[in-house]
Structure 1
Amino acid sequence: MTGVRLEPMTEDQYKPWRAEAEAHYAQSVAASGQSAQDAARNAADTYAQLLPDESATPDHHFWYAYDGDRRVGFLWVKVTHDTAFVYNVAVEPDVRRQGYGRAIMPAAERWCHDNALTRIGLHVFAHNTGARALYEQLGFTETGRNMAKDL
């Protein structure tokens, strides 16, 4: 595989994506130590704050990634000054471990370059060792670390 192309999400595509993305985020938060109920509330609050105008929220960009006609994943970034911050990227479950995650990130970098952005950042949950390894292989370096202790 040489790459994927990014196509902006339509409003009809955004709505179901948003619900699924928020639910997945809640699962990741729960896997990091919050109760499922608290994680769901946290996810709802986070998405409401980040996207007050949903897909029309300024500086946020949403794409589906395609390999030919097949949708293989999605990408959400927010642009601030010269930096794109990846809020969410994922590969469709039925095509995972086939190199699409590795292909989506360079597509994001090409978009950043085309839009005169000079940095791309992201957050990855500590428990997501596969994603962490991929990002390190793609040249991302750790810039901070959150820590917690259950009491």
Structure 2
Amino acid sequence: MPSNLATWQSRPVPDLSLSPSPSPSEEGLVERLTVRRYLGEHGDRDAARAAAAAQVERLRDRSRLLEVREDGVRRGEAWVVQQGDDLAVIDVALDDVALAPALRDALLDLARAERRSRLTVTVSPGDPGSEALVADGGFETFATQMRLDLDVEPPAEDVVVLRPMGQERYNEWIQGQVAEYAEARQRSGESAERAREVSEQQHAELLPDGLRSAGHHIFEGVAGEEVVGLLWLSTERPMVFVYDVVVEEAHRGRGHGAGIMRAGARWALDHGAHAIGLNVFGYNDVARRLYDRLGYQVTENFVARTP
């Protein structure tokens, strides 16, 4: 527990206070994560629940389950996680969403007390607690998770085909990939130091053996005889995940982004996936419009504001 939390938590924010749960039960948290985040990804409730429980366990050392109390009466809980310089609200459950503005003030107060650079909130569409927490609160979207369910067979792509990337091309690509991803994270609000740290760590974990890394497939998108872009897919989960898609600058504006993504959806279906997912940064309006046109649906919005 941060040393200044004991002082902070004693201050009411009108009629509402937060305090670490004295005997936290994670059953409700795991169930909510199962439904909101993992069921669509895994397509199976038992597998989704196992993934939710694994996330809670993975973040245990830097997370807190806080009780929300009104006049001393428990009215809900919020799961907050330390993510670099940010205080991240991953889950919130309230008996009455009318308490959301007061809870937001309390969380902002906590972020200030702990000298966090941002308060971030994961917002699941249709979840009244998280939606009320950020409504009219000055938050901006810095990233969005999206998913395309493959319950309807995607159209065949007759322009762009995928072929496995060769070693020489991979050596060229990976040199700039870490820096480009760090720059994207920085544009989305992270400090330069934090963005670089996360980018280096994630690439080292995801691609420890380069092109031979288990569960990862990196393709060139080819139209005719020309390489027009690339696509990086992961099969580590039942839902195929897009880690990167690029259209080469000389080939932009010709529909090749849509072609690469359609080819990726077809590849995912052919390899037994029930869905394909991705993350798009909030500033990337061009990519977001493409995914909307292709039928991807928002599964989570990640929003932030300074305390």
**TM-score, shorter chain, exceeding 0.5:** yes
State yes or no: 1:79 paired with 2:79.
Answer: no
Q: Distance in 1 between matches of 2:266 and 2:195?
A: 34
CA shift, 1:38, in A, is 3.1
CA shift, 1:36, in A, is 3.0
Are 2:216 and 2:236, in contact at CA under 8 Å, matched by a contact in 1?
A: no
Task: Give the structure-2-normalised TM-score.
Answer: 0.47
Cα displacement string for residues 67-101 of structure 1 (whole angstroms, at most 9, x for unaligned residues):
11111000001013431100000100111121110
Where does the alignment leave 5 or more consecutive residues of structure 1 unmatched? Answer: none
- In structure 2, what is the equivalent of residue 119 of structure 1? 275
Q: Distance in 2 between matches of 1:51 and 1:5?
A: 23
**Match 2:303 to one of 131, 147, 151:** 147
Q: What SS does the corresponding residue of 1:117 show, helix, strand or coil?
A: coil
Larger radius of gyration: 2
Are 2:220 and 2:230, in contact at CA under 8 Å, matched by a contact in 1?
A: yes
- In structure 1, what is the equivalent of residue 174 of structure 2? 18
Task: Give the structure-1-normalised TM-score.
Answer: 0.92
State yes or no: 1:30 paired with 2:189.
Answer: no
- In structure 1, what is the equivalent of residue 214 of structure 2? 58
- In structure 2, what is the equivalent of residue 40 of structure 1? 196
Higher mean C-alpha displacement, 124-133 vs 45-54: 45-54
Are 2:228 and 2:247, in contact at CA under 8 Å, matched by a contact in 1?
A: yes
Counterpart of 1:99, as a letter, is: G
Cα displacement string for residues 8-57 of structure 1 (whole angstroms, at most 9, x for unaligned residues):
01122212111222221111111111233432222111111222222211
Q: Distance in 2 between matches of 1:131 and 1:81?
A: 23
Q: CA RMSD in A?
A: 1.6
CA shift, 1:149, in A, is 2.1
Counterpart of 1:55, as a letter, is: L
Q: Distance in 1 between matches of 2:164 and 2:290?
A: 24
Q: What is the 5 A alignment of 1:128-139? A: 128-139=284-295
Q: How many residues in Structure 1 have an aligned counterpart in Structure 2?
A: 151
Q: What SS does the corresponding residue of 1:145 show, helix, strand or coil?
A: strand
Moved over 4 A (4+): none
